[in-house]
Amino acid sequence: METNKKVSIVIPVYKAEDTITRCVESLEKNTYKNLQIILVEDCSGDQTINVCKELANTYDNVLCIENDRNHGVSYTRNHGLDYADGTKRRCIYLMFVDSDDYVEVDYVETMISAISCADDKNVMPICGYVNHDEKKNGRTDIFLPSNESEYLKKSIQIMPELYENRMLQIIWNKIFRLDVIKQNHIRFKEEMFIGEDFRFLLEYMKAAKISGFLFVNKVLCHYMRDNENSLMSRLLETKIQDSLDNFEIMYELMGKSLDEIQKLLREEKEKQLEYYAYTIMHDTNMTMKEKKEKIMQLPSENVKDIYIGQKCLYKKEKLYLCIKKVLKKK
């Protein structure tokens, strides 16, 4: 494996004074050393910027950039992209990590090895990760691309399955060619609130002519999940269109016909509405009356059935938890 290929890693940082050091140190401990780590601080208003500056002073390969004001994660990542890499030691690859996450010591080396192993510029490596849900008693879920051999090539037609398994729509379990991003002016859509990572990935795949994936069946990233329900339930339903636009691009990449795409998008819209209804029903900050009003506003002919179905599911879940609690006491 070549070690002279520089890798830039962009980390958007917001209110991460307690986690950014762990994140950066996990990268500094990596076996692959030719790294440029770009911290972009998004005006957190706490001690985060001071921690970032201290890390930049401690490590020669860490660059600390400040936004002029709070812009959000897409702008912040784009700002980081502008600095990858402007030095004489030209960067070849790009990766993304979030400020509250951390990685295994062979994270970068394994992904670089996967590219060498694939020997194909049109194949994208995907690695496994652990989802740590700290707000649910430290629950952890392990996500792997496959249960088969460590390196496994798969066709682009597997994208819907990867999406369902939460492997496709994220960016920190992948590695990107920086020249493709720069030459095609690929950026994160700052007007999007949901699916901006997925849109960036799809536009990259289209520009890079990605025709398949190389599964790296190994956990290399640790994702610290926050409680998304309250955020999800507050998002305008019109944002569903952003998600549907992503799926349209995905189906086009798969070579689906126009009729097939329209049918699949109708099905996906119903799934999205079901998901929104589920997150609303489980939002602890809303009363049942507010939940009903919110769900009944969803743009679907079947909205009444969606509400009844989600209400029944919610009651069943509550009953199950009560029974489980009683049995535990015995």
Query: 232: closest CA among 266, 200, 264, 273?
Result: 273
Give the pLDDT confidence of 242-256 residue by residue, as tens digits.
888 899 999 999 999
Residue with the bigger pLDDT between 135 and 282: it is 282
What strands lie across the sheet with 62-66, from one edge to the other?
62-66, 35-41, 6-13, 91-96, 176-177
Residues in a beta bridge with 179: none
Give residue 230's pLDDT band: very low, low, confident or very high (50, 70, 90). very low
What pTM, to 2 d.p., does this model score? Answer: 0.82
pLDDT higher than threshold 90 for residue 89: no
CATH no. of 6-226? 3.90.550.10
Phi, psi angles (nearest 5°) of residue 222: -125, 110
**Residue 316, pLDDT score:** 87
Query: 9: closest CA among 32, 18, 1?
Result: 32
Tokens found for residue 304? 């009444």
Sketch the domain layout of the chain as residue ranges. Answer: 6-226, 230-329
User: Rounded to an integer, what distance in angstroms lies between the CA atom of residue 323 and that of residue 328?
Assistant: 9
